[in-house]
């Protein structure tokens, strides 16, 4: 039972007051950070010296307006909670990042993506306005007409310009089911060409395409996953139990078909954290049968991963086996679609990681200064999340990937380890625009600088 809109707004206002009070209680010499019960960042971070800001009142849905097709939400509201509030109205966010614990504020300040991004862009492009706690300790509203410089610089700022405490976003109508077609390709060039055609027409074989992503298992085994909304009832698959979604995609040739409820489609990747649950044995049938269903979700796996990183369990196991430690390669990069096959060929020949996720996107606006990929141009997000043997220098494989992505005029997300020089970083992620907005909204540098947070805090 959701609280009334008045109760929700009152509770949110009280939560903002607690947040501001906790900010003012932080000593001027101490670093400021949020307290987050979950995190989808994979950068190594220094142990905090003070407790994070009180975000307990920012985790709910404030209101859904079915007629205006908008939602007001707290900055720490998860997409899991938001989708639960919007689907009863036949609505969903324009982009629903694929993991349940991702928050609205996190997806905007840190970027997010999903299979609607080829037609709806990135999550921040559906934001109508935001209330932001700035580094100056003030809560200001940012929109295309108010504090527009902050509104435009906020995406990809990772909390270094402030924290979103409320967001108003656009919603879109959705049908109860998604009909899926999994198209098999034996050539990456053919896959990319087919992806480009679908994006141009928003259809394939005369059928509308609402969702589009893909998976590469090897150079001669790759798939496009094409989804179409439908109201037609019928049997649906369930990948929250013993069946594994990404394995259902694979077949010998041609096209296979599947159906999911819209709810299960939006969270199809969450149960197995794409395919990363395999690292914990959760895909082995006998373990999976014993693994409680409530723990088969990305939020739990990410907690296990942080525990492993804290105690370096993987490196200890490798050492016991007489093997070198491993380098974490957990990245998402955006490559222009015309260079995508080239990047994939290079990656498969250079980096021993598979499968690889593909998700096309086209920005809907005029571009965003801290992540300056070109509007009205198709990019493909390439996601890969695993480890490789360490090289002769720190971050050797990650550095190779960074150089290749820059060579192809692409961009890399900053949620994980980065190794850029200050000059390279400035050229890629906002430079003078960032510094100008930083001085205005965080004049005393209470919040970390973006380069310090994304690169130096390892």
The answer to whether the beta carbons of residues 327 and 182 sit under 8 Å apart is no
Structure confidence by residue, pLDDT tens digits, 331-357: 999 999 999 999 999 999 999 999 999
Q: Looking at residues 300-319, what average pLDDT do you find?
A: 81
- Residue 276: its pLDDT value, please? 94
- Residue 321: its pLDDT value, please? 79
| From 188-202, 293-307, 438-452, the region with the lowest mean pLDDT | 293-307
CA diameter of the chain? 63
pLDDT value at 435 more than 80: yes
Structure confidence by residue, pLDDT tens digits, 208-245: 999 999 999 999 999 999 999 999 999 999 999 999 99
What is d(CA 37, CA 162) in angstroms, rounded to the nearest whole number?
A: 19
What is d(CA 419, CA 327) in angstroms, rounded to the nearest whole number?
A: 13
Structure confidence by residue, pLDDT tens digits, 157-174: 999 999 999 999 999 999
Instruction: For the beta carbon of residue 365, count every other beta carbon within 10 angstroms.
Output: 13
Tokens of 337: 């679609």
- Residue 39: its pLDDT value, please? 56
Q: Mind listing the domains of the chain with CATH numbers? A: 5-174+441-456 (3.30.465.10), 177-268 (3.30.70)
What is d(CA 253, CA 380) in angstroms, rounded to the nearest whole number?
A: 24
The mean pLDDT of the chain is: 93
- Residue 1: its pLDDT value, please? 42
- Residue 212: its pLDDT value, please? 98
Reduced 3-state DSSP string for the chain? CCCCHHHHHHHHHHHHHHHHHHHHCCCCCCCCCECCCCCCCECCCCCCCCCCECCCCCCCEEEEECCCCEEEEECCCEHHHHHHHHHHHCEEECCCCCCCCCEHHHHHHCCCCCCCHHHHCCHHHHEEEEEEEECCCCEEEEECCECHHHHHHCCCCCCCCEEEEEEEEEEEECCCEEEEEEEEECCHHHHHHHHHHHHHHCEECCEECCEEEEEEEECCEEEEEEEEEECCCCCCCCCCCCCCHHHHHCCCCCEEEEEEEHHHHHCCCCCCCCCHHHHHCCCCHHHHHHCCHHHCCHHHHHHHHHHHHHHCHHHHHHHHCCCCCEEEEEEEEEEEHHHHHHHHHHHHHHCCCCCEEEEEECCCCCCCCCCCCCCCCCEEEEEEEEEEECCCCCCHHHHHHHHHHHHCCCEECCCECCCCCHHHHHHHCCHHHHHHHHHHHCCCCCCCCHHHHHHHCC
CA 136, distance to chain mean position in Å, is 28
What is d(CA 419, CA 161) in angstroms, rounded to the nearest whole number?
A: 22
CA 41, distance to chain mean position in Å, is 9
User: Which conformational region is residue 319 in: left (phi greater than 0), alpha (psi within -120 to 50 degrees), or beta?
Assistant: alpha
pLDDT value at 107 more than 70: yes
- Residue 31: its pLDDT value, please? 80
Calculate what percentage of the chain has a pLDDT beyond 90.
Answer: 85
Rg (CA), the chain: 22
Q: Rounded to the nearest 5°, which phi and psi values hold at 141?
A: -95, 130
The answer to whether the beta carbons of residues 183 and 223 sit under 8 Å apart is yes
Peptide bond into 355 cis (omega under 30): yes
Nearest CA to 100 out of 124, 82, 73, 121 is that of 82
CA distances (Å), origin 20, targets 26, 34, 44, 364: 10, 11, 27, 34
Structure confidence by residue, pLDDT tens digits, 25-76: 999 888 888 766 655 555 555 555 556 899 999 999 999 999 999 999 999 9
- Residue 312: its pLDDT value, please? 77
CA distances (Å), origin 138, targets 23, 32, 449: 10, 14, 18
Positive or negative, the CA dihedral 363, 364, 366, 369 is negative
In DSSP terms, 224 is beta-bridged to 183, 214
The answer to whether the beta carbons of residues 83 and 92 sit under 8 Å apart is yes
Instruction: For the beta carbon of residue 422, count every other beta carbon within 10 angstroms.
Output: 12
Q: Looking at residues 368-380, what average pLDDT do you find?
A: 94
Q: C-alpha dihedral over 311, 313, 319, 323, to 10 degrees?
A: -130
């Amino acid at each position: 039972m959701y609280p009334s809109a008045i109760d929700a707004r009152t509770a949110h206002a009280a939560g903002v007051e607690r947040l501001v009070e906790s900010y003012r209680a932080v000593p001027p010499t101490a670093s400021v950070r949020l307290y987050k019960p979950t995190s989808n960042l994979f950068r190594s971070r220094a142990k905090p010296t003070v407790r994070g800001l009180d975000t307990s009142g920012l985790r709910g849905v404030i209101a859904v307006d079915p007629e205006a097709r908008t939602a007001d939400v707290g900055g720490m509201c998860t997409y899991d909670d938001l989708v639960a509030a919007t689907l009863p109205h036949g609505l969903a966010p324009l982009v629903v990042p694929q993991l349940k614990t991702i928050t609205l504020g996190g997806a905007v300040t840190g970027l997010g993506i999903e299979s609607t991004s080829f037609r709806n862009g990135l999550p921040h492009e559906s934001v109508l306005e935001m209330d932001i706690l700035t580094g100056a300790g003030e809560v200001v509203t940012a929109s295309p007409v108010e504090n527009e410089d902050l509104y435009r610089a906020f995406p990809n700022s990772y909390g270094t310009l402030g924290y979103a405490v409320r967001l108003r976003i656009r919603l879109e109508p959705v049908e109860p089911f998604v009909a899926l077609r999994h198209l098999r390709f034996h050539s990456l060039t053919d896959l990319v060409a087919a992806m480009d055609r679908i994006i141009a027409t928003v259809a394939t074989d005369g059928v509308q395409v609402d969702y589009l992503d893909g998976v590469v298992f090897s150079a001669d085994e790759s798939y496009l996953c094409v989804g179409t909304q439908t109201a037609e009832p019928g049997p649906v698959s369930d990948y929250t139990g013993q069946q594994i979604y990404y394995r259902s995609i694979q077949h010998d040739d041609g096209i296979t078909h599947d159906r999911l409820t819209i709810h299960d489609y939006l969270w199809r990747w969450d149960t197995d954290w794409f395919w990363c649950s395999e690292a914990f044995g959760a895909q082995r049938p006998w373990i999976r049968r014993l693994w409680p269903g409530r723990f088969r979700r990305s939020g739990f796996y990410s907690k296990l991963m942080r525990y492993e990183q804290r105690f370096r369990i993987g490196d200890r196991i490798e050492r016991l086996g007489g093997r070198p430690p491993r380098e974490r390669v957990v990245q998402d990069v955006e490559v222009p679609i015309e260079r995508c096959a080239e990047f994939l060929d290079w990656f498969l020949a250079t980096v021993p990681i598979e499968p690889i996720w593909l998700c096309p996107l086209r920005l809907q606006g005029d571009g965003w200064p801290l992540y300056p990929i070109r509007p009205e141009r198709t990019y493909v997000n390439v996601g890969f999340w695993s480890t490789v043997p360490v090289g002769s220098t720190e971050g050797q494989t990650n550095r190779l990937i960074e150089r290749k992505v820059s060579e192809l005029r692409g961009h890399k997300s900053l949620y994980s380890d980065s190794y850029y020089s200050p000059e390279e970083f400035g050229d890629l992620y906002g430079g003078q625009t960032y510094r100008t907005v930083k001085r205005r909204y965080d004049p005393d540098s209470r919040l970390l600088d973006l380069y310090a947070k994304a690169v130096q805090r390892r």
